[in-house]
Structure 1
Amino acid sequence: MIRFATALFVGAAAALPAHAEVDIQTVTSEGGIKAWLVEEHSLPFVALELSFLGGTSLDVESKRGAVNLMTGLLEEGSGDLDARGFARATEALATSFGFSSNSEGVSISARFLTENFDASVALLRDAIQNPRFDDADVERVRGQVISGLSFDAKDPNNIAGETFASMAYGDHPYGTSESGTVESVTALTRDDLIQAHQNVLARDQVLVGAVGDITPEQLGTLLDVLLAGLPQSGPAAPPVIEPKITGGITVVDFDTPQSVALFGQRGIAVDDEDYFAAVLLNHVLGGGSFESRLMQEVREKRGLTYGVYSYLYPRDLANAYMGSVSSANDRIAEAISVIQDQWRLAASEGITEKEMQDAKTYLTGAYPLRFDGNGTIAGILVGMQMIGLDSEYVKTRNERVERVTLEDIKRVAGDLMDPENLHFVVVGKPEGLPTE
């Protein structure tokens, strides 16, 4: 499923501010688990982030939604504690845990006070290694997932995302909903959840970021306590896939006064040497809020929408360049035409010197606003590892942005922008749209 939030996460992960005081240490536990650590002893508090790569992409065939359901049950009781007992224990320790999954990984967050270090780690260890999967909890969380799927089936934005993903990725896990279907989730058994747990939570697939009142030695011990009982390895990841996106417009009939459009084309990888040129280009085209070309042309000049955006969408197994817009049924055709025109203009001419300098000023100056707490930093450390950045990135990122030239951006615009293969999925009752 195409999820804008995922795209935003990737962008935020790649946008760590270049703060000289951020000292990232690489820690390796006695058990061989590696982590990135930023020590900060001014407050008696620790933020920990773990991501197990693969996530919902590792669902067993015909068991779609198992990883998502399993993840939702990790805080519903573990070891000797049932769901209510687990909730009471976390509250008593003033500790918070978060568990989530998507197509890139299963994420586990922990926030705890130094004075409750051992008890919090023990509680988290049981949640990770010894989930109960009690029948009553499985049925309750299953009901929540199915309710969400039923809601998604009536949400135009979700319909557009699933339609686009199915077109672009086919039978690949990226082409289907990470939450599964009502039918697949209904059929899942407790054994399926146990298998999903064993497949996904593997030590050789974990990335770790830690920030706060903790030493390298303490972190190493913590990691071995948390993870030593998990399988060393899991199943292989699905193959890398090139999105199958060709030009055209797909209309999904849906009874609503306003059509939603999701559009996209092939993308660019984060480790591509031209990635920062693409970031600057996109900021000018559709990523710069009210100052972007798309917002100016579609909203400000013509009043066709409240918002239109574009975003680079690099992922572990595929890359896309996406965007979204919504407009009244009788005006969506014009909005799409303007977007297509702007795509062609950018492809042929790139951007101006002033637009480039304004984008650089924003992208380099906005970093401190993102760097707003230990939990955020811990998440960014994991995000950096997920997309293959080195720890020195925090010191060199702004320099990389500044090194991009106008000629670089024009060349990348010509190579990356693909107006002839820009595809629109429109959900609603649009008027006057030619379809593929």
Structure 2
Amino acid sequence: MTRQQFLRGAAAGAAVVALRPFGLSPAHAATRIQRVVSPGGIEAWFVQDATVPLVSIEYAFAGGAAQDPPGKPGVSNVLANLLDEGAGDLDSTTFHDRLERRAIQMNFSTSRDYLRGSLRMLKEDHDQAFELLQLALSAPRFDSEPVERIRSQIGSELRRDSTTPTTLAGNAFWQLAYGDHPYGRPSNGTLDSLATIQVDDLRTYQRKVLARDKLKIAVVGDIDGATLGKLLDRTFGALPAKSDLTPVPAVTAAMPPKRVQVPLDVPQTVIVFGGPGLLRSDPDFMPAYVVNHILGGGALSSRLYKEVREKRGLVYSVYQSLVWMNQSGVFVGSTATRADRAAETAATVDSEIRRMAEQGPTQQELDEAKSYLKGSQALALDTSSKIASVMVQYQLDNLGIDYLDKRGALIDTVSLDDARRAAKRLWGQGLLMAAAGRSTEASAKPAPTDAAPPTDKN
């Protein structure tokens, strides 16, 4: 059996054992989460599990695409794609060879507010894995060959996205919602901005963002706390103590109703809809989370699915979710339909959302949603990587190390009055709506001149 085969098999085993401490008994799981502080003062949330000889780490630096320089969206995306393309005295080929020989999985990604990373390895390889991560974060090379190769790859993706209705509608929605605010910029950049990004931009971003003061870490696996503490210092200890972030102003998404059309000659029209939402810290967040599940988050059971798909046969799927950032929140939904039925689809979505705002859910809907949301958490935490990712998110959201223990009770406390109040707050003003496809009545209202859609992916 190869190392890669073992790692895949061990992951399958870990999916089963993870359900025992985290899924079937959340209260017990919360007692398993430890707070580890390294000798150098670096903190991580940690779950020790020796059932399978794997270690998973997830971490996040505050920053993300919101820290891209003005006029150069995409710097954080290029950086995330280059961090494992050579570091220290290892060029790109040698660095990847070191990863592949020991089946170490290293990934980086960017969102609006965070640069995130993950690392996964066999227990016996944790020294080598953490050493490679230290090099990637502290001494990336940015050699010309990988820089131009990654630039070319991202450029290909952006050119493809410029004719993809899902991406075009999504871009148009975010710009309609946030305009010139950093949240309105395409996180992956544009073809124009990509061509202007230089190595100096990457190094400047690295120095500003990759620092210890706003770093959140979660680790799950077969390692002890003392060993982990030493590895944390070796890996992150050489990073700057303080980040140098440009303040991102608080912002509320544009007030509905507003609509914009992205002309595209394709058979199917994609519609992205939404509006101002809630911060994660808002007292109405949990009621909003529950009632959103009833309206559009419940896959085959949501009101939108039943009304738009089952009753009218307008679409194959429709969904809606709450999205929260550090400085704003929105609700966002999406669907796709035949171009000649786009107007009817948009009107039906709008009508059903207004009905929820005016009437709220029924008691039966609320009870069923609460039961589902409590039970589904167990199934969502079925691997060590997912558990670590959730623990990092809880840290980013300032929810506390005991949140997993409290989550079920918080859901239970949502009353029908709470749900109705949250529904009216979220959906009582109408919708922002962006459609990409052939011109339809769904976009009859022209967009403001400052809300012209970008052409590239968020």
TM-score (norm 2): 0.89
Alignment-mate amino acid for residue 297 of structure 2: G
What pairs with 1:274-293 in structure 2 (closer than 5 Å)?
274-293=284-303
Cα distance in 1, alignment partners of residues 79 and 425 from structure 2: 42
- Give the CA deviation at 1:235: 2.2
Residue in 2 that maps onto 1:13: none
Q: Does 1:21 align with 2:31?
A: no
Alignment-mate amino acid for residue 114 of structure 2: G
Alignment-mate amino acid for residue 26 of structure 2: H
How many residue pairs align between the two structures? 420
Cα distance in 2, alignment partners of residues 36 and 405 from structure 1: 32
- Give the CA deviation at 1:19: 1.9
What pairs with 1:292-331 in structure 2 (closer than 5 Å)?
292-331=302-341
Q: Does 1:57 align with 2:66?
A: yes
- Give the CA deviation at 1:421: 3.5
After superposition, give the CA deviation of every residue in 1:313-337 in whole Å (9 maximum; x if it has no partner): 1111210011112111111111111
Q: Does 1:407 align with 2:417?
A: yes
Identical positions, percent:
37
Cα distance in 2, alignment partners of residues 432 and 160 from structure 1: 16
- Give the CA deviation at 1:430: 3.9
After superposition, give the CA deviation of every residue in 1:360-405 in whole Å (9 maximum; x if it has no partner): 1211111211111111111111011111211111111011111111
Residue in 2 that maps onto 1:372: 382
SS of 1:203's equivalent in the other structure is coil
Q: Does 1:110 align with 2:119?
A: yes
Residue in 2 that maps onto 1:249: 259
Cα distance in 1, alignment partners of residues 125 and 300 from structure 2: 46
Cα distance in 1, alignment partners of residues 297 and 95 from structure 2: 42
Partner residue of 1:388 out of 384, 387, 398 = 398
Distance 1:431 1:66, change over 3 A: closer
Residue in 1 that maps onto 2:208: 199
Cα distance in 1, alignment partners of residues 441 and 189 from structure 2: 34
Cα distance in 1, alignment partners of residues 193 and 242 from structure 2: 26
Matched-pair contact (CA < 8 Å) for 1:330–1:430: no
Partner residue of 1:273 out of 283, 296, 309 = 283
Cα distance in 1, alignment partners of residues 331 and 126 from structure 2: 43
After superposition, give the CA deviation of every residue in 1:277-333 in whole Å (9 maximum; x if it has no partner): 111211111111111111111111111110111111111121001111211111111
RMSD between aligned residues: 1.5
Alignment-mate amino acid for residue 97 of structure 1: M
- Give the CA deviation at 1:194: 1.1
Residue in 2 that maps onto 1:169: 178
Cα distance in 1, alignment partners of residues 227 and 179 from structure 2: 45
Residue in 2 that maps onto 1:422: 431
Matched-pair contact (CA < 8 Å) for 1:45–1:212: yes
Partner residue of 1:141 out of 143, 150, 169 = 150
SS of 1:50's equivalent in the other structure is strand
After superposition, give the CA deviation of every residue in 1:77-109 in whole Å (9 maximum; x if it has no partner): 111211111111112223111111121211111
Structure 2: 5+ residue runs without aligned partners? 1-21, 447-458
Alignment-mate amino acid for residue 145 of structure 1: I
- Give the stretch that moved more between structures: 106-115 or 423-432: 423-432
Cα distance in 2, alignment partners of residues 396 and 113 from structure 1: 32
Matched-pair contact (CA < 8 Å) for 2:56–2:119: yes
Cα distance in 1, alignment partners of residues 47 and 220 from structure 2: 5
Matched-pair contact (CA < 8 Å) for 2:65–2:112: yes
Partner residue of 2:227 out of 212, 218, 240 = 218
Matched-pair contact (CA < 8 Å) for 2:177–2:432: no
Structure 1 moving runs of 4+ over 3 Å: 430-434
Cα distance in 1, alignment partners of residues 27 and 101 from structure 2: 37
Matched-pair contact (CA < 8 Å) for 1:253–1:429: yes
Cα distance in 1, alignment partners of residues 93 and 367 from structure 2: 55
Residue in 1 that maps onto 2:128: 119
- Give the CA deviation at 1:259: 1.0
Cα distance in 1, alignment partners of residues 123 and 345 from structure 2: 54
